[in-house]
Amino acid sequence: MKESIFYVDISEVREGKLPELKTAIDELIDFIKENVPRIIFYSVYLSKDNRYMTVVQMHPDAASLEYQMETGTPVFAKFKDLLKLNSIEVYGKPGENLLLQLNRKARLLGDNTRLTIHELQAGIYKFKTDER
């Protein structure tokens, strides 16, 4: 069985940038819909006070997240002046290339972004992934 991979990042919204950020989020979601065919789940959340943005996503395997990171870099760059990336949490086993991409994103969007990898110890899967 291929191991799914989960990704969560948390960013601070830069002061006065919320309207621009909401537009950029809509564009990002459109990009993901059109360009990342194997993704299972992708959602963007804003905290109640609109100070923090959280991105939660699930991929059927590390290759899917790696593909998204590769194709999405120009889209992610639009967020540089809108937020400050504080943390990236990855649940699953990323390869070396994906780790490089994650570190590149962390440097692009944050100055002290914490990247944490959590390896699977045990679990069950009760859903089927689209294996296109």
SS3 94: coil
What's the number of domains the chain is made of?
A: 1
**Residue 69 lies in domain:** 5-118
Residue 3 class from Cβ within 10 Å (0-12 exposed, 13-18 middle, 19+ buried)? middle
The predicted-structure confidence for 30-40, as pLDDT tens digits, reads as follows: 999 999 999 99
Residue type, 108: L
pLDDT in tens, 74-113: 999 999 999 999 999 999 999 999 999 999 999 999 989 9
Widest pairwise Cα distance in the chain: 46
Residue recorded with tokens 């109640």: 48
Instruction: Let me know if residue 130 belongs to a domain.
Output: no
* Residue 129 located in a structural domain: no
Kindly indicate the confidence band of residue 128, based on its pLDDT and cuts at 50, 70 and 90: low
Residue 30 in domain:
yes
What is the spatial distance between Cα 30 and Cα 115, in angstroms, rounded to a whole number?
26
For 92: left if phi > 0, alpha if psi spans -120 to 50, otherwise beta; the answer is left
Cα–Cα distance between 90 and 55 in angstroms, integer?
Answer: 12
**Residue 76 belongs to a domain with what CATH number?**
3.30.70.100
pTM of structure: 0.90
Domain assignment of residue 123, yes or no: no
